[in-house]
Chains A and B, each alone.
Chain A
C-alpha cells in the first residue's frame, strides 16, 4: 500500500528559470478520534518539525497535508507506520503582512488562468510576513504559476528556508 511516490512531478524548466517547489506530504486518515495525534506522534518520534498543516475532511475520512523540516524521512516514517502517504510538489511564497497583499498575488494567478486546487498558510520567516502554500493540480500549470510569481517579484520559499 505505502508505495513511495515520485516527488518532482513538475516538468523540466525552460529558459533557465529554476522553479523551486516545496514538498508537501499528504496523509490519508480515517475520521476518528486519535488519528491526527498518531500522525503528529510519528513526526515527533522522528524529530521532524511541522512547518505547515492543513486538513481536508469529509464525514468518513480526511487528508492531512503537511510541510515538514525533513520530507524524505517523514515519508519513510509514515510508510513504516502504515499510513497512506504521498509527496506532492507545491508552491510556497511570502507576502508582506499588510492589507491587500494576498489579493494581489492571487489575482495575478487568476488572471493568468491558474486554477488553485487548495491553499493554506505557512510560518513566515519573520513577523512582518506570511507564507502561503498553493497547489495547482496540473504539473505544467504548477511550473507556470511559479514562473509568473518569480517574474512578478514574489519571493518563493525554498526547502532551505524551512529545513
Chain B
C-alpha cells in the first residue's frame, strides 16, 4: 500500500489547486455567515465571500490568530451550533485560559483520514500494530493518531504515555510495529530500555511517527539506531486539526501537507505579505473542509518553508520543511506548549516581589529542562528550611500553571542580568539543528 488516497495525493498541481479553489470559495461563505468575529474582520477589510473565487484570492482575507480564539473563548469561533459538535480538545494558552477547539462528526472522520494517510506515508498498512504513546485527553496527539490507526484498519494500541516498563512490555508482547510519541519520550524510553537489557531482535518495531515538538537530525539518528526503526516527523496543531496536518513519507524530505483540506501559505511575519515559494517565513493555514472550526489564514507562528517540487514518493502534495523556530515566544518543552507569560503570572501570584527572574531552557541528554531562576527575597534568608519551602511552593505553582515540571534555582540579587531595553526573561540554550537549518 503506497498511498491512502492516490487520486488526491498524486494529483497534478493544477487539479489540486482547482479543488482547493472550489472548496475555499464554498467554505468562505459558511464562515462569513456563521462566524461572527471573522465576518466583522472581513467587513472591516472590505472583503465579501464573493471576492474569494480561487486560491489566488486568499491573500485578500484577514488573518486569524490565537488571540481571536482567546477573545472568543470558548466556542465563539465555531461555525456550527453546538449540537453538531461531537468532540472538544484544548491546549494551553498564555493567559491561563485554554485554546478550545471543536470537531463535528465529519471533522473527526476527516482527521482520521488524514492520520491514516500519515501512517500509510511512512509505510504503514492494516497489517501493522500501531502503538500510540501520545497522551490521551484534551491533547490532540493520542486520540488523533488513535482514530487514524483504526481508520487504516491497523491493530491500535492506546497505550498513552507513562509507565516505561509497561510500554516496553507491550512493545514486545503485543508486537508493536509502529510507535507514535514525542521524540523526547522516544529518547527517554530508549534510555530506559537500554538500562533494562533491551534486545532489538525481540521486537517488531519498524517505524515511528514523532511530533509535537522540534527535534534534530541527531535525535532522528539516535532514535533510528537505538530502536532499530525508521523515524518520521509529523506536524499538526489543534487549531487546524491536530497531528497529521502534514507528515513525512519514506523519503524523509519534508512533510506532505494534506492540501485538499488545508491551504498553506508562507508570509513575512513583519509585513504579513505572502512570500514566494521556497522562502522561509511564517506558516499560515486556511481550513477548507472542516465544519466546526474552519479557521481562515490562521497564523501558526511556526517558521517554515514550502517545497512544491514533486517528491520521489510520487506525491504532488507540497512538503513543508521542519519548522525552524517561532515568531512568538512560545516554548515547546517536552511536547508541551509553554508561554513565558504563564510562568510569570504564576510566579508573581505566589510572590509579587519576584520580578527578577529568568527562564532557562536547555536540552540535557536529549531531555528538555526548564529552570526558573529567582533572585532570593530577603525575608526568607533566615533558615535553609524557609528557602526550601519557598522553592517548593514556587515550583508547585508554576508546575500546575504550565503542566511541565520546573526546577527552581535561587540566585543572589543582581545576579540575573538586567537588560537595558525590554527585559530578557528567557534563555533557550537548546541547539536544535537539522538538515534544512541555516
Within 8 A of B (CB), among A64-83: 82-83
Contact across chains for B384 and A56 when beta carbons are under 8 A apart: yes
Contact across chains for A28 and B384 when beta carbons are under 8 A apart: no
**Is A97's beta carbon under 8 Å from chain B?**
no
Per the CB 8 Å criterion, the residue count for chain A at the interface is: 26
Given A1-B356, A29-B412, A30-B412: A56 in contact with B383 (beta carbons within 8 A) = yes
**Is A120's beta carbon under 8 Å from chain B?**
no
Q: State A85–B382 Cα separation when bound (angstroms).
A: 9
**Is B388's beta carbon under 8 Å from chain A?**
yes
Given A1-B413, A28-B412: A58 in contact with B388 (beta carbons within 8 A) = yes
Chain B residues contacting A62 (CB-CB under 8 Å) are 384
**Is A20's beta carbon under 8 Å from chain B?**
no
Q: State A2–B413 Cα separation when bound (angstroms).
A: 8
Chain B residues contacting A61 (CB-CB under 8 Å) are 376, 387, 410
**A58 (CB) vs chain B CBs: closest residue:** B384
- Among A56, A58, A84, max chain B CB count under 10 A is at A84
Contact across chains for A84 and B412 when beta carbons are under 8 A apart: yes
Which of A58, A60, A86 interacts with B382 by CB under 8 Å? A86
**A30 (CB) vs chain B CBs: closest residue:** B412
**B383 (CB) vs chain A CBs: closest residue:** A117
Interface size class of B (residues with CB under 8 A): 10 to 19
Chain A residues contacting B376 (CB-CB under 8 Å) are 1, 28, 61, 84
Within 8 A of B (CB), among A1-59: 1-3, 5, 26-30, 35, 56-58
Chain B residues contacting A84 (CB-CB under 8 Å) are 375-378, 381, 412-413
Contact across chains for B384 and A85 when beta carbons are under 8 A apart: no
Contact across chains for A60 and B410 when beta carbons are under 8 A apart: yes
Q: State A28–B386 Cα separation when bound (angstroms).
A: 12
Contact across chains for A1 and B387 when beta carbons are under 8 A apart: no
- Shortest Cβ distance from A91 into chain B, in angstroms? 15
Contact across chains for B415 and A28 when beta carbons are under 8 A apart: no
**A117 (CB) vs chain B CBs: closest residue:** B383
Chain B residues contacting A86 (CB-CB under 8 Å) are 378-379, 381-382
**Is B409's beta carbon under 8 Å from chain A?**
yes
Q: State A63–B410 Cα separation when bound (angstroms).
A: 12
- Among A28, A62, A85, max chain B CB count under 10 A is at A28
- Shortest Cβ distance from B360 into chain A, in angstroms? 14
**Is B414's beta carbon under 8 Å from chain A?**
yes
- Shortest Cβ distance from A96 into chain B, in angstroms? 30
Q: State A56–B386 Cα separation when bound (angstroms).
A: 12
**Is B273's beta carbon under 8 Å from chain A?**
no
Contact across chains for B379 and A5 when beta carbons are under 8 A apart: yes
Chain B residues contacting A35 (CB-CB under 8 Å) are 412
Within 8 A of B (CB), among A90-147: 117-118, 137
Contact across chains for B383 and A28 when beta carbons are under 8 A apart: no
- Shortest Cβ distance from A109 into chain B, in angstroms? 18
Contact across chains for B381 and A1 when beta carbons are under 8 A apart: no
Chain B residues contacting A26 (CB-CB under 8 Å) are 381-382
Q: State A27–B381 Cα separation when bound (angstroms).
A: 7
Q: State A61–B388 Cα separation when bound (angstroms).
A: 10
> Can you list 6 A-B pairs with a CB-CB distance of less than 8 A?
A30-B411, A56-B384, A57-B384, A60-B410, A88-B382, A137-B382
Known: A82-B415, A84-B412. 18 other contacts (CB 8 A): A1-B414, A2-B378, A2-B413, A3-B378, A5-B378, A29-B412, A30-B415, A35-B412, A56-B383, A57-B384, A63-B382, A84-B376, A84-B378, A84-B413, A85-B381, A86-B381, A117-B383, A137-B382
